[in-house]
A and B are shown apart, each in its own frame.
Chain A
Amino acid sequence: MSLPLPELRDDTQPQYERFIDAYLSSELRLVNSGLPQRRRSLSELLNEAQPQIPCTDGSQQMVKRSELEYLSSLLDAPDRESLMLPILIEMTGDQSGAIVLCPGSAEQKIVSSVVGMHLVCERPGRLRIYKPQLSLLRRKLKTTTQYIFSTRSSD
């Protein structure tokens, strides 16, 4: 005795499914299309007339001079050399907040100054911020921060 076969959808199934797969894969590519190909230091960008950062999709992301000057006002000379832009904000899918990737202390100083409270990395190089703080950070640093979407766990 075998199970009665339920009514199956009658359409061009394999083609449709292939399309869905391709579409979903392209969506994954799209969300991370604006990632920087190469990060550049703050002092390097400050010396340029029209500061730009090359992206992985071949485009150039414009960086506002006013934001660079604001960042420069928050840091001293060695930190200006070490701060690499854009600052990357990783979204890990837990909906509550985000992780700011801080390879150096300059990023931590910037985020702490912008959100107005001293923040400490919960793990080396990873600074957790919550939605209201993220909103504040993005409001002040629109072109010098960038989102990364990943599905790896934040823990």
Chain B
Amino acid sequence: MAQLIKVRPTKIELVKLKRRLGLSSRVQKIMKDRLSILTMEFLQAARDTVSAKKKALGAMTEAYKAMTIASGYHGYVALQKELVASEADISVTAGPRNVAGVRIPSLEFNEPSGGLRGYDLAQTSSLVDSASDTAREALRAIIELAELQRGLELLGAEINRTKRITNALEYIIIPNLQATIRFLKMKFEERDREEKARLKRVKVLLARKET
């Protein structure tokens, strides 16, 4: 049930309340839109996360399989010796992106330039190339998954917050304002009626005095 807000029953307060109701209705409209957008983005992110997770798991499995075959062919020590030289820092571009007021991290794997692998191509077989390719694919999938999962968490938290604001506006703030405005209007009408009745009474008294 709507509660009345404690205000002085004056016209100025009524104007203020009407202005506040206007603001609240505007915010409610925008919040509803925002909530629907955030939900849509969240569902999209959830679907993408599931497929990215599957892709990352598949890529990791492939990468380990390829690496096992390569180390079986070359021997673990020889392969390690070759790969030590190929160690390189990975480059990821990171920055925020804004989704309806929520700042979500955006990550992008930068492909290494040049295409050199760092190990001696003459001394190694195509199995190492294949292992390197699948490992890079796994890395790309992990970065994609990290971006999506963080986005999912942030969107989820924001949806909760927005839902609470929308509910507060819908069930508390706007009904309270409407009830108070209604009450003030009734109060003013009542005052007008009293005033009219008083004037009539005075008129009758004056008329009686004159006679």
Using a CB–CB cutoff of 8 Å, the interface residues on chain A facing chain B are 1-3, 6, 8-10, 13, 17, 20-21, 24-25, 27-28, 30-34, 50, 52, 55, 59-62, 64-66, 91-93, 95, 131, 134-135, 138-139, 142-143, 146-147, 149-151
Q: Once the chains bind, are B29 and A151 in contact (CB under 8 Å)?
A: yes
Question: Residue B4 contacts which of A6, A62, A134 (CB distance < 8 angstroms)?
Answer: A6
Q: Which of A6, A9, A24, A134 neighbours the largest number of chain B CB atoms within 10 Å of its CB? A: A24
Query: Which residues of the partner chain B approach A131 to less than 8 Å between Cβ atoms?
Result: 40
Output the least CB separation between B120 and chain A (Å).
Answer: 31
- Contact of B11 with A by CB under 8 A: no
Residue in B31, B33, B190 whose beta carbon sits within 8 Å of that of A2 in the complex: B190
CB-based contact B29/A93 at 8 Å: yes
Does more than half of chain B's interface fall in helix, strand or loop, or is it mixed?
helix
B115 CB within 8 Å of chain A: no
Residue numbers in A under 8 Å from B40 (CB-CB): 131, 134-135, 138
A91 touching B190, Cβ below 8 Å: no
The contact sample of 14 A-B pairs, CB cut-off 8 A, is: A3-B187, A13-B5, A24-B23, A24-B27, A27-B27, A27-B165, A28-B30, A31-B100, A31-B101, A34-B100, A62-B97, A91-B30, A143-B106, A149-B33
Q: Which residues of B contact A25 (CB under 8 A)?
A: 23
Given contacts A6-B4, A147-B100, A151-B30, 5 further A-B contacts (CB under 8 A): A8-B5, A9-B6, A17-B5, A21-B23, A93-B29
